[in-house]
Amino acid sequence: MAVYDPLTRALDLFPRPPGEICEDMYVEYHVLPSDEERGPFRVICVCHEACGAQAAVLSSETGEWQVFPFVEAAAMQPGDDNEKCSGNGTLVNGSIYWTDGSRALARVLNTSTLHFSRIDLPPHIEGQGALTAGETKDGRLCIISTVKLTLVVWFQRTDDDGVERWTQHKTFPLEQDIHAHDHCFDHDHIALKILAIVNGFVYLSTYCEPDRDLPGLFLSFCLETAKLNKLCTILYPNSLYPYIMAWPPSLVLNEPTRNY
């Protein structure tokens, strides 16, 4: 297994986790960077299925895996043990959320305590796409989905009874803005896919149904200003992964710029 830093071009090689924890389960990896620049980091391997999940953690300092016990889904309250959990989780503020496998519940892993739990999800809306967890500019947890070419945003709010519930915050129709960025698409067949929600920005791609191999757009949407930006045109919308990193020092100008 390799961990590569595109900024420093450092490549670290590590042994794969023990095979017995990955057997017959879906496996995914998450890299947790250190608070210190170029400090040690952790890699979390999560193996899960409908009946439960298991985590293993590797430290870059030791290169060894620490395996944690398998947790039955029934122990992840609330909910029952018949949930579905599929697809890659999303790391938000130190927890990993799996929101695309169930319409009612999300599985959550606290990366500090390695404790699994579940939370309720927002109510289903007709025509709604996959739910995606992310963070606002102030680090607040949010969940966003698409309904055709509209973004639907939910926040958690505490009711008078002290229970946190999902409340629909806003809807953002994007059809006119997308049409303004590109007039070549047949907008009756365009759909949106949320790729990531980082620091209050939603990163999306467009694709045409049913032929998803046609070129699309890579977009960013600011939740604070409600501004949609076209970043680039993409040839393979299904193979896109936004990577957020520090601005490379080699690209910072040390001399004053001149206007010509």
pLDDT tens digit string along 210-229? Answer: 666 677 888 999 999 999 99
The reported pTM is 0.83
Sign of CA dihedral 147, 27, 202, 9: negative
Main-chain phi, psi angles of 73, to 5 degrees: -60, -30
CA distance 64 to 56: 10
In this model, does residue 254 exceed pLDDT 60? Answer: no
Find, among 113, 80, 120, the residue nearest to 97 by Cα: 120
pLDDT given for residue 260 in this prediction: 40
- Model confidence at 259, in pLDDT bands (50, 70, 90)? very low
- CA–CA gap between residue 52 and residue 124 (Å, rounded): 24
